[in-house]
Amino acid sequence: MNRTIINPLYKDQVTFTQTSEETGGKITELDLILSPKGGNPMHHHTSFEETFTAVKGDLGLKLKDKTLILKPGESYTVKKMEGHGFFNPSDNQEIRFTIQIKPGHTGFENSLRIMYGLAQDGLTAKNGIPKDLGVAFWLGEINDSKVHGLLFKLLQPLGTLLAKGIKKKGIDRELLKKYCQ
């Protein structure tokens, strides 16, 4: 299994420096390279906290009521249930940062591998979301990410049904086998 994965849509790179399995479930640690203006939507997690540390360039963190810009060497820990998103504020420079998840989370690790693999195989839209919405909602379940926003809240009941269909058809097992072994 590759320790480094690349999303060809955004040229973002994730390196698994420590996995949940390797640390006995204590942490998951990732090293990320994020393209200019890259980032993710506001979301929260219910079962783990994340510590973000800027390594090279400024790392932006969107929080519920403020935006932080972390300079290299600075860190911020997002608690369970705390809404957040990260971004690269630069127009022309990639940035590098680390994320440490406590406790470790194999589902989060697997979801990244699957999302980046689907993007490499051309099975995502231009925004990186899997073309199969059932897969998208299933990935949200396994990585414990609850996306914020009215549209997501409205789609959640349908998404739950679609994710169940993915599991019932065994597509979840196929994706795990293809991208995570």
103-151 tens-digit pLDDT: 999 999 999 999 999 999 999 998 888 999 999 999 999 999 887 887 7
- Look at residue 155 in the predicted model and tell me its pLDDT: 80
Average pLDDT over residues 67-87: 97
Taking only Cα atoms into account, the Rg of the chain, rounded to an integer number of angstroms, comes to 16
Looking at the 3D structure of the chain, how many domains does it have? 2
- Please tell me whether residues 156 and 79 are part of one structural domain: no
**What is the model's pLDDT at position 77?**
98
Residue ending a domain, choose from 86, 105, 124: 105
pLDDT of residue 41: 85
Asked if pLDDT for residue 152 goes beyond 80, the answer is no
**Domain boundary at 72, 105, 138, which?**
105
* pLDDT beyond 80 at 31: yes
Rounded to 10 deg, the angle between the 106-120 and 133-142 helix axes is 150
Using the 8-state DSSP alphabet, how is residue 130 labeled? B
Query: Are residues 31 and 117 part of one domain?
Result: no
To the nearest 10 degrees (0 to 180), the angle between helices 171-180 and 133-142 is 70
Residues 170 and 139 in one domain: yes
Q: What proportion of the chain, given as a percentage, has pLDDT over 70?
A: 100
Q: Which residue has the higher pLDDT, 127 or 46?
A: 46
Predicted pLDDT of residue 72: 98
Residues 101 and 116 in one domain: no
Mean confidence (pLDDT) of the chain:
94
Q: Are residues 85 and 36 in the same domain?
A: yes
Q: Does residue 1 have a pLDDT over 80? A: no
**In terms of domains, do 55 and 89 share one?**
yes
Q: What is the pLDDT of residue 11?
A: 83
Question: Are residue 153 and residue 172 in the same domain, yes or no?
Answer: yes
16 and 85 share one domain: yes
Task: Read off the pLDDT of each residue in 91-113 and give the average, rounded to a whole number.
Answer: 97
Reading the block at residue 53, the tokens are: 């540390």
- Quick one: 14 exposed, middle or buried, by C-beta within 10 A (0-12, 13-18, 19+)? buried
